[in-house]
Amino acid sequence: MISATEHFQSLYEHYDIDFEEMYYDLTKLLDRPLKRGANTAEQNKVLASFEKIMDGSIVQKDKKFYLRMKGAGEFEMGLVSEGYRKLATIIYLISSGSLDKHAILFWDEPETNMNPKMMKYLAEAVVELAKMGVQVFITTHDYFVQQSFNLISTYPKLNKDNLEFNFVSLYQEDGKIQYTSADCVSDLEHNSIMEEFDALYMKEQDIIYDN
């Protein structure tokens, strides 16, 4: 939506288009100008974490958004990858004060269109966002996303602020959706990500040892 903010509100208000209202609400938040005054230290720390992933910053001009890359100039948001657009959206919502303490962020599959090497840094950035007081819900089917957060939740030296993590796995049993939850991934009774990872590993072992 960050690449369509310029005209989306007008279209949604005057025409019958098949978009959920949350997209309209999001464009209204993106249309907000940056707040006056300097960012808080917490905001700067979170922004630095996200901007480190993108190696650039977000610029708004006349309701259009651009990614300003270090040493490469500015790129219209419609020309950058979908993964970077998601990050750009979050960065601008933090900068404008829309995503702040007591806010809730729902992020569906952050790994989409993202390099797996970025997942470690993305998890660290989300942790900084949580330290700021934002409650974050993330859904994923990705091993790297899962394990990046699992490492932080498991080892105290990576979670010095003692942030609370809760891993929830959904599965189907007897035609009904069930769930299991735990403070770390290894304690989940059902985990399709790890089950498939183990199955592929065992398949390779069978091939290697000709079983």
**CB neighbours of residue 161 within 10 Å:** 8
Report the pLDDT value the prediction gives residue 146, as an integer from 0 to 100: 94
Q: What are the φ and ψ backbone dihedral angles of 123, each rounded to 5 degrees?
A: -60, -40
Q: Is 84 helix (H, G, I), strand (E, B) or coil?
A: helix
Answer whether 150's CB lies under 8 Å from 167's CB. Answer: yes
Residue 211 confidence class, pLDDT cut points 50, 70, 90: low
The Cα 131–Cα 147 span in angstroms is: 20
Return the closest-CA partner of residue 138 out of 117, 167, 101, 95. 167
For 101-146, write each residue's pLDDT tens digit: 899 999 999 998 888 888 988 999 999 999 989 999 999 999 999 9
Return the closest-CA partner of residue 24 out of 11, 9, 14. 9
The Cα 166–Cα 175 span in angstroms is: 25
For 130-189, write each residue's pLDDT tens digit: 998 999 999 999 999 999 999 999 999 999 889 999 999 999 999 999 999 999 998 998
Q: Is 176 helix (H, G, I), strand (E, B) or coil?
A: strand
What is the set of domains in the chain, with CATH numbers? Answer: 5-165 (3.40.50), 166-211 (no CATH)
Answer whether 65's CB lies under 8 Å from 5's CB. Answer: yes
Q: Model's pTM, two decimal places?
A: 0.83
142: exposed, middle or buried (C-beta count within 10 Å: 0-12, 13-18, 19+)? Answer: middle
Mean pLDDT along residues 78-94: 89
